[in-house]
Amino acid sequence: MDDFAVNITDMGFRYPDNDVVSFSKLNLKIAKGERFGLFGPNGAGKTTLMNLMTGVLQVDEGKITLFGNDIGHQKNEVNKLFGFVPQDFSFYQELSPVENLEFFGAWSGLNSYEIRHRSNELLQILGLDDVRDKQVKKFSGGMKRRVNLAIGVIHKPAVLFLDEPTVGVDVQTRHAIIEYLRVLNDNGTTLIYTSHQLNEAQGLCEQVAMIDDGKIIAQGNIDNLLAEHKQKSLEALFINLTGKELRD
C-alpha cells in the first residue's frame, strides 16, 4: 500500500464534445488520515475532480491511485476502499433509511449481519432512528443529507469523498454532520471534502487545495497558506486567490 490515500499523477481530462480541457498534467497527493479540503469557485472543476477520483469519470491521461491501487484498472479493489457522498441525494426516495442502507450495504460488499449492525449504529448516531422505517421522500432536506451520509459510510471506508455534504441544511444538522466527520477521521478515515462553506471548512480541514480553471492555484496546510498570503481567513484567502469576479 501507498502512503498516500490519493495520488494523482499528470492527470488530463476533457469532457467529450467539449474543446475546453478540464484538467491537464494535474498532480495532487493526499496523505492517509488527512482532512483535506478542495475549494474553488463555481465551474472550477471541483465536482469533476471528485468524480475522477471516485472513478465515475475516466481520466484521459496520467493516473489516479487510491492507496496505491489504480482506479482505472483495479476498480473492484478501489471501490471497496472509499465511500462517496455526492452533492445530490443519491438514494431511493421511495425507500426508508433502513431499506436504503440494506440495499447500498449489500452493494458495498457487506453481509446481512454487518448491514443490520451498521444500520442500527448509523441511524442512532445521525439521529434517524425514529424515522428509520418511513419513506425518505417525506423527510426534510437536513434528514435527507444525513441519510446520504449514512449510506456513504456504511462499509467503513478508508477514504471518504464528500461533495458539499452540508449544503442547504440548518445549523444543527451541519453541526451534527461535521462532528460525525471528525469522529470518522479520528478513527482513521481520510476525508476529502468540497464546500462553499469556507468557515465550516476552515474548522474541519487541515490541508486544502484551491483550484480554478482546472488548475491547482494553492495547496498546503491552512495556517501556512494564510501566513504565506497574509490573510486572516480561508474566505479572505479564497477571494485573494480567485478574485471577486462572478462565476457561472
Q: Closest CB to another protein among 137 and 247?
A: 137
The burial class, CB within 10 Å (0-12 / 13-18 / 19+), for 176 is buried
Residues at the interface with another protein (CB under 8 A) = 51, 54-56, 58, 75-77, 79-80, 82, 84, 86-92, 94-95, 99, 102-109, 111-112, 135, 151-152
- Overall residue count recorded for the chain in this entry: 248
Q: Are 3 and 15 in contact (CB under 8 A)?
A: no
Output the smallest distance, CB 50 to another protein, in A. Answer: 10
Output the smallest distance, CB 75 to another protein, in A. Answer: 8
Neighbours of 8 (CB within 10 A): 21
Output the smallest distance, CB 88 to another protein, in A. Answer: 3
Alpha-carbon distance of 115 to 131, in angstroms, equals: 18
Q: Closest CB to another protein among 101 and 198?
A: 101
Q: Closest CB to another protein among 28 and 85?
A: 85
CA distances from 133 to 65, 85, 104, 200 (A): 38, 22, 16, 31
Output the smallest distance, CB 124 to another protein, in A. Answer: 22
Q: Closest CB to another protein among 5 and 151?
A: 151
Neighbours of 212 (CB within 10 A): 20
Q: Are 167 and 175 in contact (CB under 8 A)?
A: no
Output the smallest distance, CB 25 to another protein, in A. Answer: 23
Output the smallest distance, CB 238 to another protein, in A. Answer: 27
Q: Closest CB to another protein among 104 and 180?
A: 104
Neighbours of 57 (CB within 10 A): 16
Positive or negative: CA dihedral 26, 39, 219, 206: negative
Q: Closest CB to another protein among 61 and 77?
A: 77
